[in-house]
Structure 1
Amino acid sequence: MSRLLNVEEPAAAPPAGPSMAAFLALGFRPLYIAGAGWAVISIALWIFTPQLLGEPLSLVAWHAHEMLWGFIITIAIGFLLTASATWTGFNPLQGKPLAALCVLWCIARAGFLLGGIDGFWVATAAELLFFLGAAIALGRVMVKGRSRRNYGLPILILALGIADLLFLLAALDGNHIILMERFDLGLIGMAIVALLIARRVVPFFAMRMVQGLKIPMLTKSGQAQMIFSALALVAGVLVQITGTPMTPGSGPHPLPLVMAASLAVTGLISLGQLLYWKPLAVLRKPMLWILYLGYAFLGIGLLAAAWQFSNLFDPAILNGVLIRSATHVHLIGLAGFCILIIGMLTRTALGHLGRPLALDRSMLAGHWLMVAAVVLRLAALWPSPASVHLLHLAALAWILSLGLYLWRFVPMLIRPRPDRPAPVAAPKQPATAQQPAQAR
């Protein structure tokens, strides 16, 4: 009889309703929803109704900006604002300050979309304040929690904000070449953040889910990875300062060669690390292989960027596809970042929401749809009569993937954890005393 009572008792408790306090308890809750929702809307606008996009950002500039700074970096900041609570013992943002940060993000999205020079400058100011607020919040808890190994993260967030401003100023000038070079600065800066995050959390997630799996820390290769990726970023900044040409056919130059070599070494290190992570051990774990796949594409994308920036190869090779900026941009930004993102959106949300670490059918379908979007978009890069159709199919797969995520996770993200009736307001204690181990 006691066994029957134990089975029935949990069902008697009604699920908690939506709660603003829960919604604003940690950064990942509103920013995961905002980033994923905007990714659906922005791709739908870009592919199916581009006539709705206004000046002063051109069509390509708006798309590139909103994918990198409006979606990818937003998700990264949401993750960092949450993970830093575990790393330092203090929650960097919650409640009204977190709501204010989200309002700045919304103002930026609306200003860039509606167009007009006044809206552009309002959006630019709001976006820079968004990056500044996130960096200050992260820096405060890093210092307070004496998390010295993470002191560089707030600086990287500020650097991404500066790259954003440089990109927006180039967009106003209408110089497409400079625009894409500055976009590459943002892309490389985000790659540093992605490599830093993934190298820490992916092996940790794998060892927790695969019984008996042991993965080395690879500290030395990780340090080398950060040094070479930072060197590539510095070389890219110097290219902008000196006005060194990087267009195909302009010939090799010292700074672009340094940038290319640094990216190539970073990419090779990433692929080497992946082998040490024992990928065959996670083939039956979709929550893990999606992260491994994204990390692999990130390494491949860095090699493709090195190929282009070096300017050493014949543009006719592979019909010129490898020297197109769209190739490395989509290998890093779509295949690398976004496959990692769909995996991280799922895994970290389940963990921090106190849910079982398992994929249901809709979550698994979302993973496969993101992979399909990547394959179709990369296939569309090859010039052919089918390119437009492949592009539309890729957009549909993307929208369905993130749409499924929102459908499945928004009800959870706006409610308290099932093992906790309400979030603790303004915690003074370290986060380790407030969050059960399974949430981290």
Structure 2
Amino acid sequence: MDGTPAQKRGGIPRGISNTGPIVFSYGFRPFFLGAASWAILAMGLWMAAITSGFPVGGTYGAIEWHAHEMLFGFAPAVLAGFLLTAVPNWTGRLPVSGVPLLALLSIWVAGRVAMFLTGTIGVLPAAAIDASFLLSLLFICAREVVAGRKWKDLKVIAGLAALSTANIFFHCSVISGDTTGTATRLAVSAYTMLVIIVGGRILPSFTRNWLNRFGRTDFPVPYDGFDVTAIFGAFGTFALWTFWPESKLTGIAALAAATLHSVRLMRWRGWTTHPEKLLLVLHAAYLFVPLSFIGMAAGATGLIDQISVLHLLTIGSIACMMLAVMTRVSRGHTGRLLTSSARTNATYLAIIAAAIIRPLANVFPATYQVMVSVAGVLWIVAFGLFLLEYAPMLTHAKRGARSTD
């Protein structure tokens, strides 16, 4: 087993467990496996619902269930895997593993079962069970950041708090018979802000380190006032879009944000990393951020509908970045070289293609059903390929040597 002995701090066992299954030795292992598996199963159920009328979602209905399980089922599992691995590195504290990690995973699984059985167990119990996962993850991460006195990382905790709020808001909207649009946009905004914040931390750092290996000095521009302006510009734009998605002011702000984040991405010099697709894909995923802002501006003026905007954000800005991070973290933390295989590259191509095709389906109504089906298949292929290659890594002991950034 890898790591140090488990310890206790503040009553919560921590450390990389040296007993029990290896899959519970670190947060990324079970949660990346769970996220990819649920991405495939939930998408398969959704496609069955829209093509053959297969009953799914219970009291929530198929559309609301699909939206919920992508935003508050699949995505939080990826986020948990990342944060439970990254936060210990940020704070210098030991990670949650072993039995506590199994307990947290069980809460997530219980939420998926509860949301599938809303018609049987009732909406209120299902909502309570589901909401407990993000609240638990928020408590764990907030406690670690505060205990480690890493105050700059509180903005990540704020993103988690927004997601927890959005999830509860989503449930309340369904229970009260209201639309879930605002709750959905709040969640999408929170995820994309996390992409913007964390991406701004890892992309230039990884790129600089990779270039440095080859003796190059054409490094990304260091974090400065421009990045702060871009982040606050995005925050303001998402605030407008969450509550007034079709406002002219939202469209103007979105165009400004698209410009800022296009420049920000250029400053990171992602094209220099083209020989290494494991790194290049992070820049490609971030490219969907300014593209999504452009889509948001188009949605505000009625050129495209809000469903297209949502899918540009959810599959492009969020899922592409998540899959890129999942592959990198899985390789790096299991002792593999930080280089992508042909199968990993195919994974990237599949998710990027889905991110392009699905938003366009609403633009071309004559081929809507075909494009939605193709995008769904590509999504399943992307996460299926991930499981095929990375499940053995995630369920076996770490190799002796690890390439680090």
TM above 0.5, yes or no, is: yes
Task: Quote the offset at 1:32 in angstroms.
Answer: 0.7
Structure 1 residue 43: Cα displacement: 0.8
- Match in the other structure for 1:9: none
Note the alpha carbon deviations across 1:337-359, whole angstroms, 9 max, x for none. Answer: 11112211111111111111111
Amino acid at match of 2:264: Q
1:339 equivalent in alignment to 2:300? no
Following TM superposition, by how much is the alpha carbon of 1:295 offset from its aligned partner in structure 2, in angstroms? 0.6
What are the superposed Cα offsets for residues 371-427 of structure 1, whole Å, 9 maximum, x if unpaired? Answer: 22223223322234322112212111111111010111111111220118xxxxxxx
Establish whether residue 103 from structure 1 lines up as the match of residue 106 from structure 2.
Answer: yes
219-228 or 153-162, which moves further after superposition?
A: 219-228
- The Cα offsets for residues 138-185 of structure 1, whole Å up to 9 and x where unpaired, read as 12221222212102222321221111111122123343xx31122111
Q: Distance in 2 between matches of 1:325 and 1:234?
A: 15
Gapped regions of structure 2 (runs ≥ 5): 1-17
Distance 1:200 1:190 in 2: 15
Q: Secondary structure at the match of 2:96?
A: coil
Distance in 2 between residues matched to 1:225 and 1:64, nearest whole Å: 28
What is the deviation of 1:208? Answer: 2.6
Residue 74 of structure 1 is matched in structure 2 by 77
CA–CA separation in structure 2 for the residues paired with 1:172 and 1:260: 32
After superposition, residues 107-256 of structure 1 pair within 5 angstroms as: 107-116=110-119, 118-175=121-178, 178-210=179-211, 211=214, 212=216, 213-232=218-237, 234-235=239-240, 239=243, 246=244, 252=247
Q: How many residues align?
A: 381
Identity %, equivalent residues: 23
Q: Secondary structure at the match of 2:59?
A: coil
Residue 273 of structure 2 is aligned to residue 282 of structure 1? yes
Name the SS of the counterpart of 1:116 in structure 2.
Answer: helix
The verdict on how the C-alpha distance between 1:292 and 1:101 changes in structure 2, with shifts beyond 3 A counting, is: same
Note the aligned Cα RMSD (angstroms).
Answer: 2.4
Query: Judging changes above 3 Å, is the alpha-carbon distance between structure 1 residues 132 and 40 closer, same or farther for their aligned structure 2 residues?
Result: same
The equivalent of 1:433 in structure 2 is none
1:247 Cα deviation from its structure 2 partner: 7.4
**Residue in 2 that maps onto 1:35:** 35
- Equivalent residue of 2:366, what SS? coil
Shift of 1:235: 4.9
In structure 2, distance between residues paired with 1:391 and 1:292 = 26
How far apart are 1:292 and its partner, in Å?
1.1
1:88 is matched with which residue?
91
Alpha-carbon distance change, 411 to 302 in structure 1, aligned in 2, over 3 angstroms: same
Question: Which residue does the alignment assign to 2:299?
Answer: 308
State whether residues 351 and 379 of structure 2, in contact with CA within 8 Å, keep that contact through their aligned partners in structure 1.
yes
Residues 54, 70 of structure 1: CA spacing in aligned structure 2 closer, same or farther, 3 A cutoff? closer
- Kept in 1, the 8 Å contact 2:308–2:358? The answer is no
* 2:345 equivalent to 1:387: no
User: d(CA) in 2 for partners of 1:23 and 1:108?
Assistant: 20
Deviates more, 1:380-389 or 1:362-371: 380-389
Does 2:378 align with 1:397? yes
1:266 and 2:228 matched: no
Instruction: Output the CA distance in 2 between the equivalents of 1:337 and 1:136.
Output: 23
123 and 28 in structure 1: CA distance in 2 versus 1, 3 angstrom threshold: farther
What is aligned with 2:392? 411
CA distance in structure 1 between the aligned counterparts of 2:372 and 2:198, rounded to whole angstroms: 30
